[in-house]
Amino acid sequence: MIPAPFDYYAAESASHAIDLLAAHGEDAKLLAGGHSLLPMMKLRLAAPAVLIDIGRIRELAGITMQADELVIGATTRHAALAAAGLVRAQSPLLAHAASLVGDPQIRHRGTIGGSLAHADPAADLPMALVALGGSVQVAGPAGARSVPADDFFTGFFETACQPGELITAVRVPCRPGVSWGYQKFVRRSNDWAIVGVAAIAGRIALASMGATPLRARAAEQALADGASAEQAAQFAAVGTSPGEDIHADRSYREHLAKVLTARALGQQA
């Protein structure tokens, strides 16, 4: 299908993008890589009157290290994230997650900020960020603020970003040498996760087990209390609310959460 008509603006800076958002209000949407927004526009599931392109703003791209955190610009491409030596050394779980997003075309155009803003509970990067205990930097008319990943995803395709705000960067604690596990059950390699699990340093995050990426807190507590990986994994689905679709019903997703959590924790052994 063809998207509804829209006006297009290329923002020259983050502050310019914020000004454009303020000028156009709810009629405007931000465009970076476009691999989340444009398919929805083609299906008329989204019909913004204005697109504000932030994909060429240099200040929003790049990967640096500040103290004990990686700082990743919002428009950094998935492929760059997966290939960056700094990320592979300091946060290999994040690099691995980025390498699994979609297919090569999507990884070379899609951005980390776009993936987080889209907030699909089946996506790799939101789950990885929750597992890593990262945070999202946002900016808007009221200034800049930081939102912990645990609080950033508020509902199905919903985030803590307020009207007029945009994601500027992502911060991830450096974890060099820390063992981690990552499991994703899919029909095909480039599909969304039917269930996904990311585990590191006592934190376990789940994909496709609710309206947002979730912490498997009961399993985390079991680990903290001395349970084995297999024992802790039996609590992985506690407190979750997986949906049902043509790929899996609720009970099957709960089963997958336990199996994949055991495997992810086993990778850390």
103 and 138 together in one domain: yes
> Can you tell me the distance from the alpha carbon of 60 to that of 15, in angstroms, rounded to the nearest whole number?
11
Phi and psi at residue 46, to the nearest 5°: -135, 140
65 and 123 together in one domain: yes
132 and 73 together in one domain: yes
Domain end among 149, 173, 197: 173
Query: What CATH number does residue 251 fall under?
Result: 3.30.390.50
How much is the pLDDT for 70?
98
How much is the pLDDT for 248?
96
Mean pLDDT of 171-194: 94
At position 203, the amino acid (one-letter code) is R
Question: Which band of pLDDT confidence, cut at 50, 70 and 90, is reported for residue 48?
Answer: confident
Contacts of 218 (CB under 8 A, 6+ apart): 235, 236, 238, 239
Could you tell me what percent of the chain has a pLDDT over 70? 99
Q: Is residue 193 part of a domain?
A: yes
Q: Is residue 41 part of a domain?
A: yes
Mean pLDDT of 123-144: 97
Query: How many domains are contained in the chain?
Result: 3
Coil, strand or helix: which one is 257? helix
Task: State the residue range of the domain holding 213.
Answer: 180-267
- pTM for this predicted structure: 0.95
126 and 192 together in one domain: no
138 and 213 together in one domain: no
DSSP strands (E only) in the chain: 7-10, 28-31, 50-53, 63-66, 69-73, 135-140, 143-148, 153-155, 158-159, 166-173, 180-185, 195-200, 203-207, 214-215
Over residues 185-242, the pLDDT tens digits come to: 999 888 889 999 999 999 999 999 999 999 999 999 999 999 999 999 999 999 999 9
Query: What CATH number does residue 117 fall under?
Result: 3.30.465.10
Q: Is residue 1 part of a domain?
A: no
Domain end among 173, 208, 239: 173
Over residues 11-24, the pLDDT tens digits come to: 999 999 999 999 99
The residue that leads in pLDDT, 40 or 176, is 176
